[in-house]
Structure 1
Amino acid sequence: MAGEGTAREINRLMENYTFNSLTLQLEGLQVAEVSTYPVFFFFFFSYLIIILANVGIMVLVFMDKNLHQPMYFLFCNLPVNDIVGNSIMVPRLLVDLLRPPSERLISYYECVVQAFTTHMFATTSHTVLMIMAFDRYVAICYPLRYAAIMTNKMVIKLTVSAWGVAFVLVGILLGLTIRLNRCRTLITNPFCDNASLFKLSCEDVSINNIYGLTFTVVLFTASIGSMVLTYAKITVVCLTSKSKSLNSKALKTCSTHLFVYLIMLLCGMLIIVLHRFPQYSGYRKVSAILFNIIPANLNPIIYGVQSKEIRKFLSKWFQSRRVLPSF
């Protein structure tokens, strides 16, 4: 009898340990040992470029008065989002790459923060590009009223709206997940996200699936719909206008914005499609990481190359660097 009581006590303690455990295990990336360091350095240098390029372009915007325009102030939301989103995910990923799978442990609270930041990054990427589309619409369709509409107050309102909407949507998403009890500890992903967290529960997660699907459909519908509507109106204005300067301006600024949007959209769509094919879970994990890294690397380069004002500033800066040693 004593032995049975001891066994029951041990089982009870084990159940308490796994039930709502505050220590979780990350599955991480399954990389061959020979590929570990090449993958590590690829992600490391990608992260380094993200930080340098995005911080650099923000410094340029605030240093050069010619760049003190609504378009560039709104654009600065993208570098901020890229830096924060990647800083939460990539350093942790780099550390886990060098650890054996059994040591890839993460606290539940850190996992929730990482999941929140990951979804904020993805959602804000859409909302920021939506407010940037509105700015391009006003600039092309109402050029004479642009200064009156796109005031500093309007820029602040658009920025707060982009981040505020994302915060509320993602807050509800994670709120529905953290209410659940957990009976598992393995995160089947290289980093924490909402789906990985609610899959730890043995409770009914129907409401999480319904809200997650609704959230995705609403975000993509609003994002794609606003882009189609905005660019349809811009196209009509350009086709009916005989102004070559207006058409040239529209082509330069809108092509940059549209290219950045399409890169972000295609990366996101790839993850959603791969979710439907469990046999390609490895590709889905890699594409989820690249969704953070690729746009964050390309955004400052695309805007830097396309922006005449940024090219002028860089040209002046490099010329001054060449002149300085001659004194």
Structure 2
Amino acid sequence: MSSVNASFSKNISIVHPEYFFVIGLTGIGYSSYYYIFLFITYFITVVGNTAVILIIVLDRRLHSAKYIGMFNLALADFGEANALIPNMMKTFLFDSQYIYYNACMANMFFVFLFSTMQSFTLVVMAYDRLIAICLPLRYHSIVNNSNMILIFSAIWAFNSSVVALMVSLIDRLSFCESNMIQSYFCDHGPVYRLACSDISKNKIMAYVISAMYIIAPMVVIVFSYLGIFLALIKITTWEGRLKALKTCVSHLLLVGIFFLPLFCTYLAQLLLSLNPNARVISTSLSYAIPPMLNPIIYVLNTGEIKDLIRKMLKSRSAPIRENISK
């Protein structure tokens, strides 16, 4: 009898819905204003990060280890914005809340892939600053183009594997009841909680992802800056300390705008049991705002990029002035 039951359980097919309904933003008052804000955010994100990518690719003077990290972060920002915001805008423009099952899995994969790349890229950039300040004489031998390309290639491969495993665990679940996702995209947690089969592996994966891409990077970056702080103490002059610290300002801003909103949102959710609408707004902002602000921070805090932009503006304005004078 037990063998019959075992064979029967093996033959039970996995049930997937044809599509999901993403309903995270439907119950929010004045949501049309929020969609307008998202459109502006998306436009600035795409234009800003595209400009940073093109400037780094086209100018050979920026083909250095430092700018490889900046290029990778801009690429991850661009990818996340395109994986996330257009689907949210589709709901508003076409009143279309449904997403086909396979498209949902693809959406989950790309959103998490690019967000995990942002997290690990900030860790690599912290490593870059640590070596530059603590081991300045060995910086170019340790942090060079080939090493940085190798590091980022390994990170892309590793993150793709981890996120693919996360999505494959979702694909093994059966969904036999609700197909309403209480989020603004095909988020991992809200999707696996809809399943009517065993979700213990998915819960473990959720903890692993949070620890690996939020907690661990924050710990590594904090320890990196402790090492930088100890190195700054050894510098005898205030001018030298300020000069070294200035090279870290843009990275610290990037770290702050990426990790603090995520950390505060999840902490508030754990301690205060956030209202679903408040959770949706706060998490969507924590995903949408950093990719918009990152290229602005690059430009304001990177002298080489500011100089290139000034030269481009001058070269374009010169013919206009000549035509006016004629």
- Which among 239, 242, 251 is matched to residue 245 of structure 2? 251
Counterpart in the other structure of 1:15? none
Paired position in structure 1 for 2:172: 179
Q: In 1, distance between residues paired with 2:53 and 2:70?
A: 9
State the partner residue of 2:114.
Answer: 121
1:40 to 35, 38, 61: 35
Aligned-residue identity in percent = 27
Question: How much has 1:177 moved relative to structure 2?
Answer: 1.5
- 8 Å CA contact 2:20–2:100 kept in 1: the answer is yes
Name 1:166's counterpart in structure 2: 159
Deviation readout 1:275-295 (Å, 9 max, x if unpaired): 435551111111221122110
CA distance in 1 between counterparts of 2:106 and 2:239 reads 47
- How many Å separate the matches in 2 of 1:244 and 1:160? 38
Aligned mate of 1:64, from 59, 83, 98: 59
Take 1:243 and 1:303, find their aligned partners in 2: how far apart are those partners? 27
Q: Is this contact kept in 2: 1:131–1:162, CA < 8 A?
A: no
Task: Give the deviation of 1:246 after TM superposition.
Answer: 4.7
Letter of the 1:210 counterpart: I
- The answer to whether structure 1 residue 298 and structure 2 residue 287 are counterparts is no
Contact 1:134 1:230 in 2 (8 A): yes
Structure 2 residue 125 is the aligned partner of structure 1 residue 132: yes
For 1:24, what is the secondary structure of its paired residue?
A: strand
Task: Provide the C-alpha distance between the structure 2 equivalents of 1:39 and 1:222, rounded to a whole number of angstroms.
Answer: 32
Structure 1 281/28 Cα, relative in aligned 2: closer, same or farther at 3 Å?
closer
Structure 1 residues 37 and 218, CA gap change in structure 2 (3 angstroms): closer
Question: What amino acid maps onto 1:23 in structure 2?
Answer: Y
With normalisation by structure 1, the TM-score equals 0.87
Aligned counterparts of 1:19 and 1:60: Cα–Cα separation in 2 = 48
Q: Is the 8 A contact 2:68 2:145 kept in 1?
A: no
Please give the alpha-carbon distance, in whole angstroms, between the structure 1 residues aligned to 2:201 and 2:42.
Answer: 36
Q: TM-score, normalised on structure 2? A: 0.87
Quote how far apart the aligned CAs of 1:250 are. Answer: 2.3
What residue identity is the alignment partner of 1:149? I
Structure 1 unpaired stretches of 5+:
1-17
The residue aligned with 1:150 is 143
CA distance in 2, matches of 1:256, 1:279: 32
- Whether the 8 Å contact between 1:23 and 1:105 is mirrored in structure 2 is yes
- Structure 1 window deviating more from structure 2 (258-267 vs 20-29): it is 20-29
Structure 1 residue corresponding to 2:313, chosen from 315, 318, 322: 318
TM-aligned CA deviation for residue 31 of structure 1: 5.3
Matches of 1:163 and 1:244, distance apart in 2: 39
Shift of 1:70: 1.0
Q: Is the 8 A contact 1:256 1:303 kept in 2?
A: yes
